[in-house]
């Protein structure tokens, strides 16, 4: 079952039932999604099987992380192919082999820093990597901070404080780094992406976003930035069209070249409920993760949740 979304060169065929799970396996809300060099898809989701790995056709290859995470939030593939998982409620970031073996961790699971202390971590959200292999962590829900670590995990620098001005944050929700080392921060509740140099010096910002949650860039010259815009969290405009949930595609100078999704929240193929995660493979196909179960009652109070509510779909680029 599929339909199309978008226009022109940014037209996609939406495949809702792409993920093929083994009998008895359930995938929960997909808080983030990552793609490795072989185009394997890692869905970090809130279920008994936190990391589910698929091939490009949606066949389940394996799962791991059972019993290890309190609340999955962010997942990235590092420069060496390792998988980095951010557990916000457990206040830590783990580096894992593609098969799920823990290789390194930042922070101590279950022991967060004081609220808004600026020290790592209080409800961190995601990671990204510089061209030199430095690790950036967005931190997050209980801090208004970005941290830079050396490749071996030593804290080098932090910046940010609560607020709405340049270099200030209101929910640091995701981070990306481009091939020149510029750092892009999804400043979710300020409805913007801020851009910094490696030391946190403010460069510019992208506006006209609606609660940017997830971001994805390929590590290449001329890359696009794919942004998961969650849409409103307010009851008063929860069913408005054209303000999200949606996918934005921007150039790295902040120009929006495509928007996928103009309808209000809903369960149909060309609708989203709450876009939280995004990634794209080497073919230009997009994978969209949603916290749909969590947010369904906010948009549709008292209305039964569909049994087949989608939390991960593939948008196949129409060529």
- The pLDDT assigned to 17 comes to 87
Interatomic CA distance for residues 176 and 194, integer angstroms: 11
Average pLDDT, integer, range 8-18:
92
User: Are 273 and 244 a contacting pair, CB within 8 Å?
Assistant: no
In 3D space, the residue among 201, 167, 176 whose CA is nearest the CA of residue 125 turns out to be 176
Residue 202: band (very low, low, confident or very high) from pLDDT cuts 50, 70, 90: very high
For 192, counting Cβ atoms within 10 Å of its Cβ (0-12 exposed, 13-18 middle, 19+ buried), the class is buried
Average pLDDT, integer, range 91-105:
98
Q: pTM of this prediction?
A: 0.96
Listed by start position, the domains of the chain span 2-317
pLDDT exceeds 70 at position 1:
no
Residue 31: band (very low, low, confident or very high) from pLDDT cuts 50, 70, 90: very high
- The pLDDT assigned to 38 comes to 97
- The pLDDT assigned to 319 comes to 82
CATH code, residues 2-317: 2.120.10.30
User: Are 182 and 136 a contacting pair, CB within 8 Å?
Assistant: no
- The percent of residues above 70 in pLDDT, for the chain, comes to 99
**Three-class DSSP labels, 261-281:** CCCCCCCCCCCCCCEEEEEEC
pLDDT digits (tens, 9 = 90+) for 289-312: 999 999 999 999 999 999 889 999
pLDDT exceeds 90 at position 161:
yes
- The pLDDT assigned to 113 comes to 97
Residues 6 or more apart in contact with residue 260 via CB below 8 angstroms: 5, 6, 10, 12, 246, 247, 248, 249, 286, 315
pLDDT digits (tens, 9 = 90+) for 66-96: 999 999 999 999 999 999 999 999 999 999 9
Q: How many residues does the chain have?
A: 319
pLDDT exceeds 90 at position 233:
no
């Amino acid at each position: 079952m599929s339909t199309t979304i978008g226009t022109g060169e940014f037209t996609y065929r939406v495949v809702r039932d792409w993920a093929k799970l083994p009998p008895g396996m359930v995938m929960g809300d997909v808080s983030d999604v990552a793609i490795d060099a072989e185009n394997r898809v890692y869905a970090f989701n809130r279920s008994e099987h936190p990391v589910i790995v698929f091939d490009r056709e949606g066949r389940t290859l394996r799962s791991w992380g059972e019993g290890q995470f309190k609340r999955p939030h962010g997942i990235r593939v590092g420069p060496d192919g390792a998988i980095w998982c951010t557990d916000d409620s457990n206040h830590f970031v783990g580096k894992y082999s593609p098969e799920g073996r823990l290789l390194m961790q930042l922070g101590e699971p279950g022991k967060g820093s004081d609220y808004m202390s600026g020290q790592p971590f209080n409800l961190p959200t995601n990671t990204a990597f510089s061209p030199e292999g430095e690790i950036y962590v967005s931190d997050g829900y209980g801090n208004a901070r970005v941290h830079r670590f050396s490749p071996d995990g030593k804290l080098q620098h932090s910046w940010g404080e609560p607020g709405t001005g340049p270099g200030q944050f209101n929910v640091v929700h995701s981070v990306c780094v481009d091939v020149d080392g510029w750092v892009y921060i999804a400043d979710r509740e300020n409805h913007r992406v801020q851009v910094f140099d490696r030391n946190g010096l403010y460069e510019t910002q992208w506006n006209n976003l609606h609660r940017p949650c997830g971001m994805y860039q390929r590590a290449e010259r001329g890359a696009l930035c794919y942004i998961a815009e969650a849409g409103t969290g307010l009851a008063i405009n929860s069913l408005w069209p054209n303000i999200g949930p949606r996918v934005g595609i921007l150039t790295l100078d902040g120009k929006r070249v495509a928007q996928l999704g103009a309808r209000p929240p809903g369960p149909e193929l060309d609708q989203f409920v709450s876009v939280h995660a995004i990634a794209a493979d080497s073919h230009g196909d997009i994978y969209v993760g949603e916290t749909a179960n969590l947010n369904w009652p906010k948009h549709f109070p008292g209305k039964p949740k569909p049994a087949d509510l989608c939390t991960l779909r593939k948008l196949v680029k129409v060529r």
